[in-house]
Structures are given as C-alpha cells and as structure tokens.
C-alpha cells in the first residue's frame, strides 16, 4: 500500500503541527521535572533536536562498553545482525578484519545486553519523548557504533518505517566516550525536520518510504537532501559531546557521519529509534505486552522483546 506525503503528514504528533499550543500544554503538566519542558518542546518544534548534558548513567555506559568488548572478542557465540558498509550480515559471518571497519553497526544489541536496554530508557529521553508522542515512548531498534559511520546525509523515517503512523519516530544518540573531532563525529542540520525545509523525496510513484521495489536509491536521497540544505541555507552542526550527554532528534532531521581524519580513533556510540506505544508494530510484540514481554520498562517507556526471538544468549551487562 502506497505511503505518500499526505499520509505521513496526517500521522504527525501534535508538536509537528503548525503553532502547537506548547504553553497551554505545559501549564497542564503537574509532574516535577528536572529539565525545562517548555524550552525543550520549543527546541524540538523549531530545531528538531534536544540536547541533555551529563544526564546519562555512566555506570551503564561503562557496562555497555564492556559488553561491546566482550561481543567483539566472542562474536561467534552470539545471535545478532550487523551492518558492514551497507551490507546486512549475521555477526557470525564477520571476519576479524570487518570488526574494525568504519561504519560497522551492531543491530539491536539491546536484545542481548540488558544495560543497553536500560540506556535506551534514559530518564530525560523517555520522559521528554512521552510528551512529544503524547504517550509512552517505545524503543523499536538500536544501532551501536564502534567507529564513525561516515554515512552521507540522510533522514531516518524512509528506512525505520514499521511503525504506524510512520511520523511517530525519534532517535537518541548516546556517546560512550568523549567524541574527538577527528573521529568522524555526527553532524545534524537544525530545523531540517520541518517539511517546508526538507520537502519529500519521491522513491517512486509518490512513495516517501524506501521499499524493495523503489526505483530510486539511498545515494539519491543524500544528493536530494544536500541540495535542500544548500537551498534553505541550513549549515550543519558537528556534534562532539562528552560522555554522559545525549542528543535526541526528530525522525525527519537530516544528519550525517562526518569524515574520519584519524583512523586510529573510535567513535563509540549507541543510537535508539523510538515510536509511541500506539504506533508500535503489533506483530513485533509478544502476547501479553505491554504488561509483559518487555526487556525493560522505566520512566513511562518500554523496550520490548521481539516476538520472533526466544532465549538469546546474553552479554554479561555487569554494572
């Protein structure tokens, strides 16, 4: 079924609409928060990003780093998919050389690392996205990077699109170390999430999603977005955070991996993609969810077990 621009627009959360009543919304919020909700919601509406500094549990970060090193040493022992320079593989099919490739992504490590699942529900992120979505934020997938991706400019929703509505999409980016400018940091284009800036890329026949039969390819999306950013005079911000920070971004925000200038440097980072509970794909849930069938629930959010996975060997996750 064709998913066109009109369908995407019709499914946007309240904060993506023109002139959302942010002040009136915040006035009705009674919970005590340790961040400025009004300012965060306004930043999201205007820029498509929110940065929380020094809020991520460092013990969990250290534990995930240990899990990643354990996985790299013992990768033949685990059931996990990875992406190597755009190619999907099972981790057991990797070579030792490929483990050090730039752009290597561990897909959904949270299914075998309890601390990764807990990081996905970092309190500031889960609480903020609950207000963005108007309901519980649910982690759909995660990506773990060891080095910089150097990925050309892109947006998430054409690829992360099993949720309905598709526009219920956000991501968080947690550095697992202080990020060096030479490591190929993330860069993002503030305000590019607004459809008057981004427009819609047509993958074929009016579809805004990348499908197996799409007539256009991801590199064409990157060319399109680069042209849009130039036309709208949006300059990228290179993000070099400290360990403990977290960046949250909109599913339509243009972002990229910058060039690595020192191949010896790592850029360890953990990305989670979220949707709302109402938009979470039901066929991904186990029976009984959300009351059961989850890996972690905290701060009003969920990390669910995938319906097709059972009794996966787990990483140590020692905190």
CATH code, domain with 233: 2.60.120.620
Determine the pLDDT at residue 76. 95
The tens digit of pLDDT for each residue in 217-234 reads: 999 999 999 999 999 999
- Inform me whether the pLDDT recorded for 260 exceeds 90: yes
Query: How does residue 284 score in pLDDT terms, banded at 50, 70 and 90?
Result: very high
| Residue 87 falls inside a structural domain | yes
User: What percentage of the chain exceeds 70 in pLDDT?
Assistant: 100
Determine the pLDDT at residue 279. 99
Question: Domain total for the chain?
Answer: 1
Query: How does residue 306 score in pLDDT terms, banded at 50, 70 and 90?
Result: very high
pLDDT averaged over every residue in the chain:
97
Range of the domain at 73: 5-304
| Residue 196 falls inside a structural domain | yes
Q: Each residue of 42-67: b (16+ CB within 10 Å) or e?
A: bbbbebbbbbbeebbeeebbebbbbb
| Residue 54 falls inside a structural domain | yes
Query: How does residue 237 score in pLDDT terms, banded at 50, 70 and 90?
Result: very high
pTM of the model: 0.97
Helices of type H across 74-192:
114-120, 123-133
The token pair at 315 is 């990483």
Query: How does residue 157 score in pLDDT terms, banded at 50, 70 and 90?
Result: very high
Helices of type H across 136-293:
195-198, 218-231
Determine the pLDDT at residue 105. 94
**Element (DSSP H or E) covering residue 155:** none
Helices of type H across 148-234:
195-198, 218-231
| Residue 318 falls inside a structural domain | no
84-98, 173-187, 214-228: least confidently modelled range: 84-98
Determine the pLDDT at residue 102. 79
The token pair at 297 is 């629930």
The token pair at 294 is 């989850």
| Residue 274 falls inside a structural domain | yes
User: What percentage of the chain exceeds 90 in pLDDT?
Assistant: 95
| Residue 48 falls inside a structural domain | yes
The token pair at 190 is 């503030």
The tens digit of pLDDT for each residue in 127-139 reads: 999 999 999 999 9
| Residue 244 falls inside a structural domain | yes
């Amino acid at each position: 079924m064709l998913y066109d621009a009109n369908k995407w627009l019709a499914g946007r959360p309240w904060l993506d609409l023109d002139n959302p009543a942010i002040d009136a919304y915040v006035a009705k919020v009674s919970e005590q928060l340790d961040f400025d909700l009004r300012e965060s919601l306004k930043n999201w509406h205007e820029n498509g990003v929110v940065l929380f500094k020094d809020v991520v549990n460092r013990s969990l970060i250290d534990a995930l780093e240990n899990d990643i090193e354990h996985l790299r040493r013992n990768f033949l022992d685990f059931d996990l998919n990875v992406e190597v320079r755009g190619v999907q593989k099972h981790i057991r099919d990797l070579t030792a050389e490929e483990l050090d490739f730039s752009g290597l992504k561990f897909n959904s490590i949270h299914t075998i690392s309890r601390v990764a699942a807990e990081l996905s529900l970092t309190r500031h992120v889960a609480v903020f996205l609950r207000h963005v979505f108007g309901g519980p934020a649910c982690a759909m997938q995660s990506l773990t990077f060891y080095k910089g991706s150097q990925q050309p400019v892109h947006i998430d929703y054409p690829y992360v699109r099993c949720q309905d509505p598709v526009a219920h999409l956000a991501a968080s980016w947690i550095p697992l170390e202080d990020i060096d400018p030479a490591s190929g940091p993330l860069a993002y284009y503030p305000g590019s999430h607004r459809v008057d800036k981004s427009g819609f890329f047509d993958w074929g026949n009016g579809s805004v999603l990348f499908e197996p039969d799409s007539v256009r390819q991801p590199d064409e999306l990157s060319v399109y977005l680069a042209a849009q950013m130039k036309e709208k005079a949006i300059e990228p911000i290179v993000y070099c955070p400290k360990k403990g920070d977290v960046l949250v971004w909109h599913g339509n925000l243009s972002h990229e991996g910058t060039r690595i200038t020192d191949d010896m440097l790592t850029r360890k980072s953990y990305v989670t993609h979220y949707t709302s509970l109402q938009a979470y794909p039901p066929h991904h849930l186990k029976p009984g969810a959300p009351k059961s069938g989850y890996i972690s629930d905290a701060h009003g959010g969920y990390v669910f077990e995938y319906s097709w996975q059972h009794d996966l060997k787990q990483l140590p996750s020692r905190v």
